[in-house]
Chain A
C-alpha cells in the first residue's frame, strides 16, 4: 500500500493498532502489510479499514491464501 509521505508515521501507527495486521516492511512511502483473519468477512472489513485510514493513497493485493490451519496442524 502507498501512503501520503507527510502522513506516513500516522498511517503506520494506525495500522499497528489494528488486530491481525503486521507491517512487514516499509520502503519509502510504501508499506507491506500482512493481514491475518479468521474469515473472509473480517479480511474485507480490515482491508477496508486500512484503505479508509487518513493518508492512505492506495492499497493493492499481492498475495492471498486461504487455509484451515487448525485442520492442517
Chain B
C-alpha cells in the first residue's frame, strides 16, 4: 500500500511538472504514453482549490490540496497564465507558513506589562473604546490604521470605508508606502493614472530586458524563468543587469553594469541624451503623445518631522528638454556611476535602436529611493522618447513585492490622500462620489490628507497620534531608523493594536493582539503587478479563534456606532464588500469584473469591460477606453489632453553619502529563502535552518583591505545604530567596492536600527538602499 501510494504521489508530481514545461517543447511519444498529462496530475483523494500564492506580487496561481482539514499539498496551477504550472521555492513553503507552532489563536490584552488571553468581546470592546475616546478627546487625526500590501482587497476596503467614510480620518496607510509608493507617483505624474500599461505577456515578445537594480532571479524567480525561456527560444535576446552588486541574476545576464548607488538618475539622463543626439527619437510619437515638463529641484529628503513638499511643474519644449540633458555626457556619467562611457553607450543602444523591443524592469532598487518618483519618470522618458511603449514587448514594468500592493493599497487606495480608483480626498467631486456610494454626508470625508507612513510613526512618537492599529504588517522590523519608532510606540499614552498570525517584534510592543486568519483560511482577493485580480475561496478553518482582518475591522466599527456602514451578511460580507467597492471602478478605466467572474477565472487584468480583460492599456487594439480613431491615448491624463509627460529631472546626490568616518554605502534587501520580515518563513524549519540569521555581504577586496576574513564578525555602524554581523564574502551577492549589503528579515538582528528614514519628497517612500556605515572589525576576546 505504502509503495503504491508513494509511486502515485511521485507520478502526480512528475505529471504536474511536465504540464508546466514551456509550450512548444515536444515530448517523446514514449514519454507521453508513460505519463499522460491532464487531470492525473492532481491527487484525486485530496480536495483542491485555486488561490494566488501568499508571497510576492508576481501572483502565481497555486492549486492547494487539502486533507482532513489541513493543507498538505501545493502545485503550480497550469491553467494560470502567470506561472503556467511553476512555483518558486517559496511557494513550496506555503503549507508550512500556516502551521507554525506558535500561531496566535486567541485575542490578547496587555495587563501589567504582560499579554493575557481575552475573549473577542473583551478585546473588541476595548479597541473600540480606545478609538472612540481618542477621537472624542483629540479629534479624528489622533487615530491611525496601518495596513498592508498583504491585506486582501476587502480587508483594505473595510478599513478605508471605516476611517474615511466613518471616523473622518485620512490616517489610513499601508506598508506598500515602503515599497511601491514611488511607482505610484511615477505612473501618476507621467501618465495621469497608476499601474502599468503592459503585462507579463511582454516577456515573450521582447528582444531585450533591462533590469534597473533588480535581482529578479531570486526575488521573482518564476518571472525570471520566463525571461530565460524567451532568450532560449530567441538567441538574439539579451538580458542587461544594472546593479550595485553581483547577484544570481548577474550570472544569467548577458551584460552586467556595476553602478554606484544613486547614479541611476544620471544613467537614465545619459541614455536620453544619446537617443536625442543621435536623432533616434520617435518624432511622430513625441508630437502626438507627449508633453515636456520640469519640476522643482533640490527638493530635500524628508528627514525632518512634518516635512512638506509640493512640486511646481512648468511646461517646456522638446528643444529645452534636449538642452537640459546635455550635461549628462557619457564621460560625466562615468564619473558619477562608475560605468565606463562605452558601456553606457552600449546600454543606450538598447533603447535607441528602433528595431529592438525593450522591457525595462525594476523593483525596490528604483522605488525605495530618495528620488524614487524621479527615477521612475526618467525610465518612462526612455520609452516615451523612442515610442517603445503600449505595444507587446515594448514596455516599462515596475514589479511588486507584496501579493496585493496593487490590488489593495493602490487600487482600493489605502493611502493617506487617496480614495478608491485613483481618486483623492482633496477633490470635492471625488469626495462626493465616495460619499454617495457609502451613503454618508460628504462632510464625513476629510479633504486634508492624513499622515504618510513615516510621518505617521513620527506622529505616534510625538503623541499627535495616540491610538494605532496595524494589520498584516510588522513595522517594528520594517521601519527605517527603527529605534525612534519602537521607543515612540511604547511611550505612555500610546495604544497599539496589532492583528497578526505569529508573535513578532510588533506584537511585543502591542497593547492588544488580535489573531488573524490568513490566505486560504478565509475567502479573499489579491491584485498583482500586471493588474490581475484573483479570487480564492476558504479551504480550511483558521486555527483557534482567528478571524479575518476585514471581520475584525467591521466588528470594531460597529461597536463605535458605524453599523450602518457595514450592513453585510455574516457569511456574505466578502462578496458584498467587493461588489460595493467595484462600483467605484466602473466607467473609470479601472473597471473590475463581478465577483462571480473572478470565481470562475484564473484572474482578470483590469479594465474588465463586458467580462473581457485588458492585457495592454492605452492602445486601441486592446483597450476599449482609447477614443475611437486614435491608436494610442493616455486618456487618464486629462490635464495634458491625453498625453504622457516627459519630465526633466536631474541627478542629485543621496542625503547621506560615505565619508571618512562612515566610508561604506549600506544597501538592505531580501533573500530568496525569507519573505520580507521573516515572520512567516522563519517558522518554516528548513528555510530557517538554511538562512538562520542576517549577515553582511562585503566586497572581497574591501574585506582584505580591512583585514577581515570570510565568516568573521564585524560591527556595522551608522550615525543611528549598530549591529554585529557575520561577514559573507563571495556569497550569492557580491557588492561592488565601497558598499555592503544586509538582509532585513531577521528580527534578532534589526538592520533597520542602522538605516536612515529619508524619503522621496513626492512619493514619501523611504530609501532603504542608501546610507553611510562603517565596518569595525571585532577584536578577538
Contacts and interface: CB of A to CB of B under 8 A. Distances in A.
Given A24-B35, A30-B21, A61 B87 contact: yes
Given A27-B18, A32-B17, A40-B96, A63 B73 contact: yes
B442 interface: no
Interface in B1-48: 1-2, 5-6, 9-10, 12-14, 16-22, 25-28, 31, 35, 41, 43
B43 A65 contact: yes
B14 A25 contact: yes
By secondary structure, the B interface counts as helix
Contacts of A62: 13, 16-17, 19-20, 75-76, 85-87
B225 A36 contact: no
Interface in B45-75: 65, 67, 72-75
A48 interface: yes
B9 A67 contact: yes
Interface in A22-41: 22, 24-25, 27-30, 32-34, 36, 39-41
B221 interface: yes
B686 A41 contact: yes
A44 to B, nearest CB: 4
B2 A32 contact: no
A63 B228 contact: no
A8 B221 CA distance: 21
B16 A69 contact: no
Contacts of B85: 62
Contact of A60 (B13, B41, B67, B87): B87
Interface string B73-95: 11110000000011111011001
Interface string B694-707: 00000000000000
A40 B20 contact: no
A39 to B, nearest CB: 8
A23 B57 CA distance: 31
B307 interface: no
B309 interface: no
Contacts of B17: 24-25, 32-34, 62-63
B225 A60 contact: yes
A39 B20 CA distance: 25
Interface centre among A45, A64, A67 (most CB of B within 10 A): A64
Contacts of B671: none
Contacts of B435: none
A46 to B, nearest CB: 11
Interface string A1-32: 01000000000000000000010110111101
A63 B10 CA distance: 9
A53 interface: no
Contact of A61 (B21, B35, B76): B76
Given A41-B685, A41-B686, A72 B5 contact: yes
Contact of B26 (A27, A32, A69): A27
Q: Which 3 pairs between the two chains have the least Cβ-Cβ distance?
A: A24-B14, A73-B2, A44-B686
Given A25-B17, A60-B76, 11 more contacts: A27-B21, A27-B28, A34-B17, A41-B685, A60-B86, A62-B76, A63-B17, A64-B87, A69-B6, A72-B2, A72-B5
7 contacts: A27-B27, A47-B89, A61-B88, A62-B20, A62-B75, A65-B12, A67-B5
Interface of A: 2, 22, 24-25, 27-30, 32-34, 36, 39-41, 43-45, 47-48, 57-58, 60-67, 69-70, 72-73
Interface of B: 1-2, 5-6, 9-10, 12-14, 16-22, 25-28, 31, 35, 41, 43, 65, 67, 72-76, 85-89, 91-92, 95-96, 217, 221-222, 224-225, 228-229, 232, 252, 684-687, 689-690
